[in-house]
């Protein structure tokens, strides 16, 4: 069974959470056809080889209702194994499912409109980004693959970026992909720069060992990488793609933006004192001394593992999802001033990403 | 040991009656299958054939209190855990010598062929026989496999040929021959097996059904054995065995919805030579010496674009040297046995950062038994010293442990009442200590405590037994998921309460002999690690609260017919006990018809089996479906 552990490595790798929210400024290019109330889609990863990834939806403006497993309800079948990333574009939802190896376009109820199954050569899908009617997917085949949102059945070409690209993000006309290289003899440590005008690899430079998340905040670029992958320690680097430099900003495990500011989470678990396992979690805002979230009503968050950290681009609400890798996840919602609003349990293990549909 | 004594029995029976009585007095329990101070279950070659038992795992899962984790198909991993204790707590012995795998810890019992087995014996706690290696006392349970012994009743040469074929491209052939030379018997066997394993399955998926065919599930294997047994009256007997095994198989992996691309392959080689020698120096003194050299090798390969070279290959080689000496002194009413083992294990691996560990284990066991009329009390003390060396990096501290066991028995002609308490532990495996990113050398052994009370009642026509137990597991070795990787840790306490009840009866209706057996197991195994956790008091994964087995065999002259069933209640495949994590209850039914044909002094048996008659689509391990309905024909020719 030891083989499982090798595979699990890949599963436990962090995803780029907030890429599309912040990077894409073009969401209003396409007007939603049906506009009801706002929805927040929550993607639960599930457990490895459990075929128990699920999609839930939360209506923040309504009666605070939460619908579990909407994908299963709409399609009569489950999402499959390990939902990896989700984003909303136009009035459609796009979801990449790593284990089950597909990208799907869903309607608002979660019903599949179209599906792309990745070939062995393309590799299994990881993270998503969108711009100007095109979805970009990083894959285990060492590629970023481009799909036209009008039909995702076949790809519109791909770019080789390096072994095991993970987080991707678009800023202006440039796509950034972190190259983690998990299955190499040694980890990679570069950021690939793809010019979207001609969809070619323009540049590649070192940002830090095993980079996993990349996020653009206005004209700034941030990358999270592992300082010690085995200890799970991570730090946030401030990256200058023009000078090709990367400087330490802070330790941190998740980043998100409301479009203006950088918010980050430090959620680290210390396994060095076996068998005592201790998690310490805190929230921070760049250039601010105080925590952006008031944890008075939710003290348990300061010792919970944060697996999801997203900001509603519309009103600045914070969504924090926790995991224990065994029981169903919990989502905490705070308003933009950090005041606790509500919390709810998700329908499976490890909620990892959210998508906001206005 | 028990198995060894079984084959020793006819030998000693032929010898001087006084000596025989003495020897028998020492190990009288070995001859009566039940009536032990600990729960023990057996299955013979005859039962194996009559019941249409497929493989060793299929035999063991018919015992009560066992939980066989079966990943499905001929090549799928099969491990046995007993009464809620992990698989590494159960030792497996092959013709008297304990089999080990320091890398994985558990033994894949699917690897042993059922065709050449004479008896399978499962003992919980430890066997009543005292003249055993120290290793035999160092586990929570023992599965003893004894291979078929030649029958020289008719002539000096014994031979048999077996052909077996069935669904999903299964074919198995075996040839055995033995020759008697003076006081020695030389025997040899070869076996070849293949299977496509491409059975169809259906798995429910919300309101729909996933239909598929097991892919990359094929296996080929070859095995050869040479045995030389020598006996010199009642004073000396020796069993020398050489064993070679090769297999190459696909690993189909778990069923992932909407995507199947299993490319993993595993090749195994195993070779060992072992010697088991018994000497009776004096009426009151018996000695036993065991020696073994074991070589095992495996090669794992995966093909996926995610690897830089498109392929990942891993090679592992293990060597083991094993020496054991045991002595048994009998001064009725006291018997004293002392055993000492020296075991040396190495692992060479090209896994990243593997420190090429070497482990030296010294084990000793002292047993003192008092027999007073109908009472028998035994005290056992096992001592271990384990030390490890590595080429680089950290190594675990030396391990020094003493563990006790105690058993008490009262018996008369029909009834045995027993009680047993035993403390054991399992040493962390090389994978748990050193495997890249996963292992940690800080691991302590996983502790297990067993308490059992029970009784047997038997008249020959009717047998009944009931056992009640409480087990505790502490410092459980588990993989804890972290942000990035899984890490091994001693994290967990499990409390297990259970009951195993078994009944059997034999009677005749006219010319037909009927034998009915059934057992039922109750097992509550709950996580008591952390009272603040959502998982507190949840039933541990893959442990049904209720399970049972039943079998009926009718024999009339040269014919026999059997029907068997295995029933398991719902289980959870994850720690969290919610309906989403349930695995459905199942019942599997099988039937076998056997006929014997006499051809002069030779005979042939032919068996036709229908397994999983109802084509029940169930799985033992979630998303590792078991085969549906299948047929098998077996021909066995005995010279």
Residue A76 maps to a domain = yes
Is A76–B208 a contact, with Cβ atoms under 8 angstroms apart? Answer: yes
The count of structural domains within chain A is 1
Which residues on adjacent β-strands are paired with residue B203?
B210
CB-CB: which of B256, B300, B481 is closest to A49? B256
Is A183–B307 a contact, with Cβ atoms under 8 angstroms apart? Answer: yes
Which residues on adjacent β-strands are paired with residue B285?
B282, B329
Question: How does residue A194 score in pLDDT terms, banded at 50, 70 and 90?
Answer: very high
Neighbour count for residue B281 (Cβ, 10 Å): 11
Region of poorest pLDDT, from A30-34, B273-277, B280-284, B572-576: A30-34
**Residue pair B48/B112 in contact by the 8 Å Cβ criterion:** no
Residue A306 maps to a domain = no
Residue A25 maps to a domain = yes
**Residue pair B512/B473 in contact by the 8 Å Cβ criterion:** no
Is residue B208 within 8 angstroms of chain A, CB to CB?
yes
Residue A111: which domain range?
Answer: 4-257+349-357
DSSP string, A107-138: -TT--EEEEEEPPTTT--EEEEEEETTEEEEE
Is residue A303 within 8 angstroms of chain B, CB to CB?
no
Among A residues 110-139, those touching chain B with beta carbons less than 8 Å apart: 117, 120-124
- The strand pair at A278-285 and A305-311 is best described as unpaired
Helices (H), A136-240: none
Give first-to-last CA distance, chain A, whole Å.
Answer: 45
Average pLDDT, integer, range B559-566: 96
CA-to-CA distance for B130 and B132, rounded, in angstroms?
6
Q: Which residue has the higher pLDDT, B574 or B353?
A: B574
Contacts of A243 (CB under 8 A, 6+ apart): none
Is A12–B479 a contact, with Cβ atoms under 8 angstroms apart? Answer: no
Exposed/middle/buried for A288, CB within 10 Å: 0-12, 13-18, 19+?
A: exposed
CA-to-CA distance for A336 and B594, rounded, in angstroms?
77
Report residue B184 as tokens. Answer: 């020695």
Residue A35 maps to a domain = yes
Chain B residues closer than 8 Å to A234 by CB: 483
A275: preceding bond cis by omega (within 30 degrees) = yes
B376: preceding bond cis by omega (within 30 degrees) = no
Whole-prediction pTM: 0.90
Residue A125 maps to a domain = yes
* Structure ipTM over 0.90, yes or no: no
Average pLDDT, integer, range B505-521: 95
Place of tokens 């999609």: A55
pLDDT tens digits, one per residue of B199-222: 999 999 999 999 999 999 999 999
**Residue pair B324/B134 in contact by the 8 Å Cβ criterion:** yes
Is A3–B302 a contact, with Cβ atoms under 8 angstroms apart? Answer: yes
Neighbour count for residue B75 (Cβ, 10 Å): 26
Region of poorest pLDDT, from A137-141, A190-194, B50-54, B589-593: B50-54
Among A residues 267-296, those touching chain B with beta carbons less than 8 Å apart: 269, 271, 274-275, 277
Specify the CATH number for the domain of residue A129.
Answer: 2.130.10.10
What does the pLDDT read at residue B106?
Answer: 87
pLDDT of residue B9 exceeding 90, the answer is: no
Is A80–B622 a contact, with Cβ atoms under 8 angstroms apart? Answer: no
Which residues on adjacent β-strands are paired with residue B422?
B405, B450
Residue A303 maps to a domain = no
Is A232–B482 a contact, with Cβ atoms under 8 angstroms apart? Answer: yes
Supply the Cα-derived Rg of chain B in whole angstroms: 24
**Residue pair A174/A203 in contact by the 8 Å Cβ criterion:** no
Residue A350 is inside which H or E element, if any?
none
pLDDT of residue B2 exceeding 60, the answer is: no
Q: Which among A48, A49, A116, A182 is the top mutation candidate for probing chain B, defined by the most B β-carbons within 10 Å of its own β-carbon?
A: A49
Chain A residues closer than 8 Å to B535 by CB: 326-327
Output the CA torsion sign for B280, B281, B285, B288.
negative
Report residue B140 as tokens. Answer: 């929570």
Whole-angstrom CA distances from B542 to A357, B194, B545, B547, B585 are 40, 29, 10, 12, 11
**Residue pair B27/B148 in contact by the 8 Å Cβ criterion:** no
Region of poorest pLDDT, from A33-37, A252-256, A260-264, B534-538: A33-37
Report residue B505 as tokens. Answer: 């009866």
Average pLDDT, integer, range B402-428: 95
What does the pLDDT read at residue B60?
Answer: 94
Contacts of A92 (CB under 8 A, 6+ apart): A105, A106, A107, A113, A149
Average pLDDT, integer, range B495-520: 95
Average pLDDT score, chain A: 89
Residue A312 maps to a domain = no
Residue A108 maps to a domain = yes
Output the CA torsion sign for A332, A333, A334, A336.
positive
Average pLDDT, integer, range B616-634: 95
Which residues on adjacent β-strands are paired with residue A213?
A224
Is residue B535 within 8 angstroms of chain A, CB to CB?
yes
Query: What percentage of chain B reaches a pLDDT higher than 70?
Result: 94
Is residue A45 within 8 angstroms of chain B, CB to CB?
no
Question: How does residue A239 score in pLDDT terms, banded at 50, 70 and 90?
Answer: very high
pLDDT of residue A283 exceeding 50, the answer is: yes
């Amino acid at each position: 069974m030891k083989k499982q552990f090798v595979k699990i490595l890949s599963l436990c790798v962090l995803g780029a959470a907030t890429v599309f929210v912040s990077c894409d400024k073009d969401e209003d290019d396409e007007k939603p056809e049906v506009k009801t109330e706002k929805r927040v889609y929550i993607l639960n990863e599930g457990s490895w080889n459990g075929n128990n990834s699920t999609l839930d939806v939360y209506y923040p403006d309504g009666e605070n209702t939460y619908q579990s497993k909407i994908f299963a309800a709409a399609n009569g079948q489950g999402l499959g194994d390990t939902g990896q990333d989700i984003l909303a574009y136009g009035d459609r939802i796009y979801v990449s499912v790593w284990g089950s190896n597909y990208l799907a376009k869903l309607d608002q109820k979660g019903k599949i409109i179209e599906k792309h199954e990745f070939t062995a050569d393309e590799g299994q899908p990881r993270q998503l980004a969108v711009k100007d009617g095109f979805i970009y997917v990083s894959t285990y085949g060492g590629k970023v693959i481009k799909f036209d949102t009008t039909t995702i059945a076949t790809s519109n070409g791909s770019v080789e970026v390096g072994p095991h690209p993970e987080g991707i993000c678009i800023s202006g006309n440039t796509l950034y992909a972190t190259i983690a290289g998990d299955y190499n003899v040694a980890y990679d440590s570069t950021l690939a720069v793809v010019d979207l005008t001609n969809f070619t690899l323009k540049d590649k430079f070192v940002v830090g060992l095993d980079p996993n998340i990349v996020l653009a905040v206005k004209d700034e670029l941030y990358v999270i990488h592992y300082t010690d992958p085995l200890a799970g320690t991570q730090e946030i680097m401030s990256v200058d793609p023009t000078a090709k430099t990367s400087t330490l900003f802070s330790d941190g495990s998740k980043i998100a933006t409301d479009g203006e500011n950088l918010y980050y989470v430090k959620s680290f678990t210390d396994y060095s004192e076996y068998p005592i396992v201790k998690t310490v979690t805190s929230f921070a805002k760049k250039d601010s001394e105080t925590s952006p979230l008031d944890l008075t009503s939710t003290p348990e968050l300061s010792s919970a593992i944060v697996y999801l950290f997203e900001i509603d681009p519309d009103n600045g609400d914070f969504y924090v999802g926790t995991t224990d890798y065994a029981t169903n996840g919990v989502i905490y919602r705070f308003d933009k001033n950090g005041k606790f609003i509500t919390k709810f349990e998700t329908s499976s293990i490890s909620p990892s990403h959210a998508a906001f549909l206005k | 040991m028990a198995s060894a004594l079984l084959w020793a029995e006819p030998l000693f029976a032929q010898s001087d009656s006084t000596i025989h009585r003495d020897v028998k007095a020492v190990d009288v329990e070995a001859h009566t299958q039940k009536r032990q101070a600990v729960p023990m279950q057996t299955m013979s070659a005859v039962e194996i054939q009559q019941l249409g038992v497929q493989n060793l795992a299929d035999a063991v899962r018919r015992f009560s209190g066992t939980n066989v984790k079966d990943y499905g198909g001929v090549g799928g991993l099969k491990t046995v855990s007993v009464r809620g204790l992990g698989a590494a707590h159960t030792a497996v012995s092959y013709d008297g010598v304990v089999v080990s795998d320091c890398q994985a810890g558990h033994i894949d019992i699917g690897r042993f062929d059922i065709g050449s087995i004479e008896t399978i014996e499962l003992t919980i706690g430890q066997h009543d026989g005292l003249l055993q290696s120290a290793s035999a006392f160092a586990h929570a349970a023992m599965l003893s496999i004894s291979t078929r012994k030649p029958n020289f009743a008719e002539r000096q040469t014994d031979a048999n040929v077996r052909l077996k074929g069935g669904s999903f491209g299964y074919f198995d052939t075996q040839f055995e021959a033995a020759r008697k030379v003076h006081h020695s018997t030389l025997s040899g066997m070869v076996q070849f097996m293949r299977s496509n394993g491409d059975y169809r399955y259906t798995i429910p998926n919300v309101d729909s059904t996933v239909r598929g065919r097991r892919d990359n599930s094929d296996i080929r294997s070859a095995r050869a054995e040479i045995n030389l047994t020598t006996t010199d009256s009642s004073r000396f007997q020796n069993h020398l065995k050489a064993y070679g095994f090769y297999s190459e198989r696909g690993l189909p992996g778990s069923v992932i919805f909407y995507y199947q691309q299993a490319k993993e392959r595993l090749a195994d080689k195993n070779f060992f030579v072992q010697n088991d020698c018994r000497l009776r120096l004096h009426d009151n003194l018996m000695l036993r010496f065991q020696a073994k050299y074991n070589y095992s090798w495996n090669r794992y390969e995966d093909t996926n674009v995610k690897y830089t070279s498109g392929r990942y290959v891993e090679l592992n080689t293990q060597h083991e040297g094993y020496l054991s000496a045991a002595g048994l002194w009998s001064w009725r009413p006291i018997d004293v046995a002392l055993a000492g083992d020296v075991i040396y294990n190495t692992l060479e691996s090209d896994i990243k950062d593997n420190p090429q560990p070497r482990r030296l284990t010294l084990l000793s066991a002292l047993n003192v038994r008092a027999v007073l009329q109908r009472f028998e009390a035994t005290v056992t003390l096992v001592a271990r010293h384990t030390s490890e060396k590595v080429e680089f990096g950290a190594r675990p501290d030396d391990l020094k442990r003493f563990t006790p066991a105690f058993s008490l028995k009262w018996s008369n002609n029909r009834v045995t009442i027993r009680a047993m308490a035993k403390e054991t532990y399992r040493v962390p495996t090389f994978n748990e200590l050193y495997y890249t990113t996963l292992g940690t050398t800080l691991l302590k052994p996983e502790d297990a405590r067993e308490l059992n009370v029970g009784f047997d009642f038997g008249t020959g026509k009717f047998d009944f037994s009931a056992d009640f137990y409480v087990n505790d597991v502490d410092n459980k070795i588990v993989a804890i998921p972290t942000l990035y990787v899984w890490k091994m840790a001693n994290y967990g306490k499990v409390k297990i309460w259970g009951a195993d009840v078994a009944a059997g009866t034999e009677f005749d209706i006219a010319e037909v002999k009927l034998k009915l057996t059934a057992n039922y197991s109750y097992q509550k195994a709950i996580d008591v690690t952390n009272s603040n956790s959502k998982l507190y008091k949840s039933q541990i994964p893959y442990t049904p609260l209720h399970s049972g087995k039943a079998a009926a065999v009718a024999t009339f002259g040269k014919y026999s017919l059997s029907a068997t069933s295995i029933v398991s209640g719902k289980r959870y495949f994850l720690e969290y006990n919610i309906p989403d994590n349930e695995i459905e209850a199942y019942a599997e039914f099988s039937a076998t018809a056997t006929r014997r044909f006499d051809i002069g002094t030779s005979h042939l048996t032919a068996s036709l089996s229908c397994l999983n008659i109802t084509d029940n689509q169930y799985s033992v391990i979630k998303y590792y479906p078991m085969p549906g309905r299948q047929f098998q024909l077996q021909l066995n020719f005995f010279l």
